[in-house]
Structures are given as structure tokens and as C-alpha cells.
Amino acid sequence: MEDVETRELRYFVAVAEELHFGRAADRLGIAQPPLSRAIRRLEHRLGVELLERTSHGSRLTPAGEVLLAEGRTALDAVAAAARRAQRAGPKACLVLAMKPGGDAGLLPAILAAYEQSPDALPVEFAFSIGDRGAMLRDGRADVGLLHHPQNDLSGLATEELVVERRVVALAESHPLAACDELRMADLSAEEIPRFPEAARPGTGPLVGDVGELMQLVALGRAVALVSESAALRPHRGVVYRPVLDATPATLVVAWAESSRSREVAAFVTAARRAASEEASGTS
């Protein structure tokens, strides 16, 4: 069987996402006829129909659904290979993906421990609020600090660091601020902001970063569930209250399984050490 080129996969993914050859061709920066031919050629080579063409758009066949899912991960893997090879050049570094403030206060200890490793590289930070898992999968980052179950960890290797209880950020003047502790049910009527990348749809206002989020909270226009360590950084006009029945967030160090280099392993070890020392120190 002839093998599939990444260009063909990118083309198919574009069509499968748009369900429209014209728009997909537009997005890919090519004309529609070559795109149609490329998809037909791909279907013929695989011996499977991928799309049901109707006169108003197209639909995915079961095989198309499979190729969309698997093709995305394959494209991620190819991109990861290229990016990680690039970074392994003379000015090698380790890219850490994390949410600003999403380190449960462990970052200094982790970095200190990592820098003492003989395999340590300079660490670059890739701050991102929403897509840290994707950054690990497609090679934009090498290791990440992310949260379970808030982040999708599939396809990643992980190690748990600490479990963080979740607290709610409220305006000082908010009625609920009078309570010492809350339950999720108490928040059902509140506006909970969302970041644009958030997978789960909601009704809250969209915010771009943590600063905007806290601004909204301080104004009393919204409330926000955050990790308990975030409450250590006070914000003017905002108070924090524990939420008893919120599912706790587990901070994990994550990495792509295909990149089990010494450098990544050293970072994971450093993170593990920092977390366990933190746990024994504060207990």
C-alpha cells in the first residue's frame, strides 16, 4: 500500500472539519479542484469512502470519523518530531508549558531541583491558559504542569504532584462572601467565566487571561473556581472561600511519551522531589 503523506492528511482534516470543500480549500490556501482530487485519490488509495458528498456540504462516513481522529494525532506527532528535532540543535532548551500561576507554588523548588541535574537544559516558559495538552502533543512544549481532570491527559504520560482543593473567588461585597464555606449548589446561579479555549461549553462571559478574570470577579460580575494555591496571591477586592464538594484538582507533570529524553526525565524527577518535599514540609 502506498503511504499517506502529511499533506494529504492535512487536506482531509481540513475538509472533515469544514465539511465543505470550498471553505477547506480556502483555509488551506489552494483552489477547490486540487483539493477534491486529493481527497478522491486518498479515498481510492485507502479503498474506503471517507465522505458522503451531498449537494449541500458533505458528511463523514465511519471511516472518515476514524481518519479524522487518528489523522489529527498523526499530524501532531509529525509536527512534534519536527519541532523537537529543531529544538535539539545547538541552542537546546526545555520548554515548559504551564498556566500562569498554575504551579501550586512549586515552580521555584522544581526549577531549583532541575538545575542541579547534570542533564539540565535552560528552561523556556510557554505560558498558555487553554491548550497545554495540545502543546505537549504537537511538540511546542516538552513538559507541562497541568491539572487533572480539568485537562485532557490522553496521549500523555503523567505523574501526580499534589492534590489541590478548589476555592471560589468572590467579590468582597458578594453576598456569598459572608459564608465561611460553600457548596457547588450555592454557585449554580452565578456567572462563571470561560476562557476561549475551554472545551466544555458554558454560558459565562469570555475572558482572555487571568487578569481579566480577576477584574470581573472584583466587580462582582462573576465568580471563579480556582485552585487553593491561587488564593495565596491576594487580589484587591477579591476574597476566597472553600467549596466543599468541588472536585479537587490534581496538579500533574506531563510529557509526551515519545520524548522520554534524559532532560525530560530529569525534570520529572525534579518535580516529583519538589512535590514530596513540599508535602512533608507543610504537613
3-state helix, strand, coil split of the chain in percent (to 5) is: 40, 20, 35
DSSP for 134-166 reads HHHHTTS-SEEEEEETTS--TTEEEEEEEEE-E
Cβ-based neighbour number of residue 213 at 10 Å: 22
4 binds, among a copy of itself, DNA, none (CB under 5 to 8 A by kind): a copy of itself
57 binds, among DNA, a copy of itself, none (CB under 5 to 8 A by kind): DNA
Q: How far is the CB of 7 from a copy of itself (least distance, A)?
A: 6
48 binds, among a copy of itself, DNA, none (CB under 5 to 8 A by kind): a copy of itself
Footprint on this chain of a copy of itself (rule: CB under 8 A): 1, 3-7, 9-10, 46-50, 62-67, 69-71, 73-74, 76-82, 84-86, 88-89, 92, 139, 154-155, 157, 257-261
239 binds, among a copy of itself, DNA, none (CB under 5 to 8 A by kind): none
Q: How many residues in total does the chain contain?
A: 283
Footprint on this chain of DNA (rule: CB under 7 A): 5, 7, 19-22, 29-34, 36-41, 53-58
CB–CB of 135/97 below 8 Å?
Answer: yes
CB–CB of 93/263 below 8 Å?
Answer: no
Q: Which is nearer to a copy of itself, 79 or 120 (CB)?
A: 79
Q: How far is the CB of 11 from DNA (least distance, A)?
A: 7
Q: Give CA–CA dist 236/171, Å, rounded.
A: 9
Q: How far is the CB of 268 from a copy of itself (least distance, A)?
A: 14
155 binds, among DNA, a copy of itself, none (CB under 5 to 8 A by kind): a copy of itself
CB–CB of 277/173 below 8 Å?
Answer: no
Q: Which is nearer to DNA, 89 or 281 (CB)?
A: 89
Q: How far is the CB of 73 from a copy of itself (least distance, A)?
A: 4
- Taking CA atoms, 9 is separated from 75, 80, 97, 219, 276, in Å, by 7, 15, 27, 47, 44
